[in-house]
Amino acid sequence: MADHAFLIPLIPFIGFLILFCTLGNLPRYWVAVIGVGSIGSSAIVVALLGIEFLSQKDPTPYAVHLYTWMNLAGFQPGVSFYIDGLTLTMMFVITGIGLLIHVYSSLFMFEEEDYSRFFSYMNLFVAAMLVLVLADNLLLLFLGWEGVGLCSYLLVGFWYQDSANGMAARKAFIVTRIGDTFMALGLFLLYQHLGTLDIQPMMHVATASWAIGDPTVTLACLLLVGGAVGKSAQLPLQTWLPDAMAGPTPVSALIHAATMVTAGVYLIARTHELFLLSPIALNIVALIGAATLIMAAFTAMTQSDIKRILAYSTISQIGYMFLALGVGAWASGIFHLVTHAFFKALLFLAAGAVIYSLHHEHNIFKMGGLRKKLPLAFWSFMIGSAALAALPFTSGFYSKDAILLSAWESGPMGPGLWAAGLLGALLTAIYSFRLVFIVFFGATQTEPDKPAGSVMAVPLLILCLLSLLGGLLTVPVSQVFPPATALDHSGLIPAVTLAIPILGVLIAWLIFLRRSVDLGAITSSAVGKFLVTFWFRHWMMDSLYDRVFVKPYTFITLANRRDIIDSFYNGFAGALRLLHDYATLSQTGQLRTYALVMLMGVVALIAVFAGVITP
Amino acid sequence: MTEVVVIPMEHGLLLAAILFLIGLLGVMVRRNILLILMSLEIMLNACGLAFIVVGAHWGQADGQIMFMLILAIAAAEVSVGLGMLLQVHIRIGTLDIDLASRMRG
C-alpha cells in the first residue's frame, strides 16, 4: 500500500480539479458523486494503508519519496510523505470525519446555487489538509498549512454576496497570516541552524546539537508556537474563529472544529522533540492553553448564537489540547484531538440540522422546545454535549480526564494548570447544557418546518456512536511519543476531576431548566451586567485589537493616502512634463522658422570650430 | 596663342558663397514651396561650384566627382520634393508653406 500513499491527497485534489474546471455546469447529482466519492475513495485508501500499517507486529514508520520538489544548492525539499501512527491518526480523522461531513453536506447544501463551488473548495481543503499531515518536511507541511488557510478563507466567505461574510473571511485569513509569518520565520531559523527541514533528520540533529534550554531552540519553538496559535485560534490570535462561523455549517464542522484548527496541535506534536529541548516553550504552550480555555469557556456561557457558542467551545477545547502538549501528555493531547473531532463535528452537524429546520435561525433564545420536534438533533446534542462536558464514559471523558491528571502530575505548575483545566471543565459542562436546555426544552418559539433528511441522519448517527464509544479507541501513537507516565486513577484528585462536570450539569439544570436561581437578578446587577458584557464580547479582545492595531493602521493609511514616497516620483515626473511643455513651444510647425534656427545653429558651430568663440 | 586667364580661387569661392546666401535667403523668406525648392537647388549648386573651384585650384579631380554626386542628390531631392509639393497641393489646396503647420507642438 505504501506505493499508493500518493493517492490519498491526489484523489480529493482531482475531485477539486474536476469540480473547479467544470465551473458548476455539472448536474447536482454528479457534483455530489464526485465531491463525496473522492473523499470516500481517499478514506478507503487510508483505511487500507492503516490496516496494513497497524497489523504489523512492530509497526515501523516509513517515508514515501515521490519526487524532489526543488534543488537549491543543497536544499532539497522533497514531495515525500512520512507515515507513522500520528499521521495515520490524523488521516483517519480527516478522511473519516471528512467523509461523514461531505455526505451530510450533499443534502444540507443541496439548495445552494453554488453547490459545485462548495464541493470543489471542500475537496481542495481535504487534499491540502492531507498534505499537511503527510508531509515529511516542514516546507511541504507549510504548503498544506497555507492551502488549508486558503480554503478556510474561501469557505468562510462562501456566501460572499453578504459583505459581512467577506469581512469575516478576510479577518480569518489575515489573523492566521500573522501566525504563519511567525511560523515561516521559525522555519528559516531552523534551516539556518540545522541545515535541513526534513522532520526526522532535523529532530535528530537538533537533539544532538542543542542542549536542553538552549536559547536558539526556545526561540525556534516559540516561533512555531506563533504559527500554531494562529491556526488553532489560541490566545492571543483566537479572535478570528468566532467570526469564521459566517461560513456554512458543514464548513464550521470540518474546518473550524474537527481538522484545520487542530493543525497547530499537530505541528507541535510533530516537532515534539524540539519542544522537549525547551522547557520554557512547553510551559508557555501549557499557559496559553490554560488561559485560552478559561477565557473561551466564560465567553461561551454568554453567547446567544448557537454556532458562536460552539466556536468558543472549540477554542476552549483546543486550549485543553495545548495544555496537554505543554505538560508533555502528547498522546492525551492527540487523543483529545480525535475525540473532540467526533463530538464537535457531531455538535456542529446537529446545530446545522436545527438551523436547517428553522429557516437559518441562529439565536438560541428564539429556539426552544425542540426536543419532541427534532428528536435526532436533540439526541445528537445530548450525546455531543455529554462528550464535550466530559461526563463519565463518553469519549470526551477519557481524553479530558487524562489531560487533567497529566496536568496535575506535571511538576511545580501542575496544580495550577489542573485547577484551570478543572474550572474550564465546570464551565464547559454549564455552557454546553445551557445550550441544550434552552434550545430543546421549554416553550416552543419557532416551529420547525422540514426535518433533516436521512442523508443527514446517517452521519449524525455514526458520529453519535463515535462520541459515545470513542473513548474505547486507542490512538496508535505510542511509538511516536516518549512513553507517558502511568496515571494514578485512585485518590481524591481523579475523583474531583470526575465529579466536576457532573456538578456543572447540575448547575446548568438548576439555572436554566428548574430556574431555581434567578438569573435575571444576577445579570442585572452592576457587576453581573459588566461581566456578562465583558464575557459576551470575549474579554474585549476584539475592541482591544481594534483600538491598538486596526484603528492606528487605518489612520496611518488614510493620512498617507497620497503616498509620500509616490509624491517624490510624481514630482519628478511632473517636472519632466513641465520641461516637455516648454520644449514643445519650439515646435511651431513653421518650416521657415526651422530653417532659420538651423542656420543659426550652423553659424554657431562654424564659429566654434573656427575658434571665433570658445564654449 | 591665347593667354590663359586664370580666375583666382577667391573670386570663385566668393561667387559660391553669394549664391549660397541667395538660396538660403530664398528658403527662409519664401512661402511658396516651389520657390523654396528652387532656392534649395541654388544652394546645392553653390556648394557644387565651391567644390569645382577648389578642385581646379589644387589640380585634383575630387572636386568634380563631388559635383557629380551633388547633381545626383539634387535630382533625387527634386523628385522627392516635387512629389511632396504635389501632395501638399492636393491636401491643403495651396502652396503656402505657412499653412502646412499642423504639426506644431
Please, are residues B26 and A599 in contact by the beta-carbon 8 Å criterion?
no
Q: Which residues of A touch B103 (CB under 8 A)?
A: 587, 589
Mean pLDDT throughout A346-373? Answer: 87
| A579 CB-contact burial (10 Å; exposed 0-12 / middle 13-18 / buried 19+) | exposed
pLDDT over threshold 60, residue B54:
yes
Confidence band of A477 (pLDDT split at 50, 70, 90): confident
DSSP code at position A365? G
Predicted local distance difference test score (pLDDT) of residue A615: 59
Please, are residues A263 and A129 in contact by the beta-carbon 8 Å criterion?
yes
Report the mean per-residue pLDDT for chain A. 90
Q: How far apart are the C-alpha atoms of A100 and A254, rounded to whole Å?
A: 10
pLDDT over threshold 80, residue A498:
yes
Confidence band of B6 (pLDDT split at 50, 70, 90): confident
Q: How far apart are the C-alpha atoms of A200 and A208, rounded to whole Å?
A: 13
Please, are residues A346 and A264 in contact by the beta-carbon 8 Å criterion?
no
Mean pLDDT throughout A574-587? Answer: 90
Q: Which residues of A touch B105 (CB under 8 A)?
A: 584-585, 587, 589
| A169 CB-contact burial (10 Å; exposed 0-12 / middle 13-18 / buried 19+) | buried
Please state the φ and ψ torsions of residue A409, each to the nearest 5 degrees: -95, 15
Please, are residues A536 and A303 in contact by the beta-carbon 8 Å criterion?
yes
DSSP code at position B3? P
pLDDT over threshold 60, residue B1:
no
- Beta carbons within 8 Å of A262's beta carbon, 6+ residues apart: A232, A318, A321, A337, A340, A341
pLDDT digit string (tens) for A292-321? Answer: 999 999 999 989 899 999 999 999 999 999
Please, are residues B27 and B41 in contact by the beta-carbon 8 Å criterion?
no
- Beta carbons within 8 Å of A389's beta carbon, 6+ residues apart: A396, A425, A428, A429, A432, A433, A501, A504, A505
CA distance B30 to chain A (A): 8
pLDDT over threshold 80, residue B3:
no
Q: Which has more pLDDT, B101 or B35?
A: B35
Of A588, A596, A599, the CB nearest to B101: A588
Predicted local distance difference test score (pLDDT) of residue A410: 83
Predicted local distance difference test score (pLDDT) of residue A489: 73
Closest to A274 (Cα-Cα) out of A192, A206, A201, A185: A206
Which range is least confidently modeled, A364-368, A482-486, A590-594, B73-77? A482-486
Confidence band of B105 (pLDDT split at 50, 70, 90): low
Confidence band of A147 (pLDDT split at 50, 70, 90): very high
Mean pLDDT throughout A419-438? Answer: 93
Q: Residue B104 and residue A589: Cβ atoms within 8 Å?
A: yes
Q: Residue A595 and residue B27: Cβ atoms within 8 Å?
A: yes
Interface test with B, best of A577, A581, A587, A592 (most B CBs within 10 A): A592
Amino acid at A76: Q
Quickly tell me which residue has 514630482 as its cell: A571
Percent with pLDDT over 70 in chain A: 99
Q: Residue B98 and residue A590: Cβ atoms within 8 Å?
A: yes
Q: Which residues of A touch B102 (CB under 8 A)?
A: 589
Angle of CA points A247, A249, A252, to nearest 5°: 70
Mean pLDDT throughout A100-117? Answer: 91
Of A587, A590, A599, the CB nearest to B105: A587
pLDDT over threshold 70, residue A122:
yes
Interface list for A 576-615 with B (CB within 8 A): 584-585, 587-592, 595-596, 599
Q: How far apart are the C-alpha atoms of A603 and A597, rounded to whole Å?
A: 10
DSSP codes, A387-432 = HHTT-TTSHHHHHHHHHHHHHHTSSTTHHHHHHHHHHHHHHHHHHH
Model-level ipTM above the cut of 0.85 = no
Closest to A450 (Cα-Cα) out of A107, A159, A36: A107
pLDDT digit string (tens) for A166-189? Answer: 999 999 999 999 999 999 999 999
Predicted local distance difference test score (pLDDT) of residue A346: 94
C-alpha cell at A505: 450539569
Predicted local distance difference test score (pLDDT) of residue A522: 80
Q: Which has more pLDDT, A341 or A613?
A: A341
Confidence band of B104 (pLDDT split at 50, 70, 90): low
Please, are residues A414 and A327 in contact by the beta-carbon 8 Å criterion?
yes
Interface test with A, best of B98, B99, B102, B103 (most A CBs within 10 A): B98
Q: How far apart are the C-alpha atoms of A611 and A473, rounded to whole Å?
A: 105
Of A585, A590, A595, the CB nearest to B101: A590
Q: Residue B101 and residue A589: Cβ atoms within 8 Å?
A: yes
Quickly tell me which residue has 522533497 as its cell: A78
Q: Which residues of A touch B104 (CB under 8 A)?
A: 587-590
Q: Residue A589 and residue B103: Cβ atoms within 8 Å?
A: yes
Confidence band of A125 (pLDDT split at 50, 70, 90): very high
Q: Which residues of B touch A590 (CB under 8 A)?
A: 97-98, 101, 104
C-alpha cell at B50: 565651391
Predicted local distance difference test score (pLDDT) of residue B48: 94
Q: Residue A591 and residue B97: Cβ atoms within 8 Å?
A: yes
pLDDT over threshold 90, residue B75:
yes
CA distance B68 to chain A (A): 25
CA distance A552 to chain B (A): 49
Q: Which residues of B touch A596 (CB under 8 A)?
A: 28
pLDDT digit string (tens) for A407-425? Answer: 988 888 888 999 999 999 9
Return the bridge partners of B45, or none. none
Q: How far apart are the C-alpha atoms of A201 and A194, rounded to whole Å?
A: 9
Confidence band of B98 (pLDDT split at 50, 70, 90): confident
Interface test with A, best of B20, B21, B24 (most A CBs within 10 A): B24
Q: How far apart are the C-alpha atoms of A386 and A364, rounded to whole Å?
A: 19
Please, are residues A360 and A348 in contact by the beta-carbon 8 Å criterion?
no
Q: Residue B24 and residue A599: Cβ atoms within 8 Å?
A: yes
**Which secondary-structure segment (H or E) carries A78?**
strand A78-83
Confidence band of B69 (pLDDT split at 50, 70, 90): very high
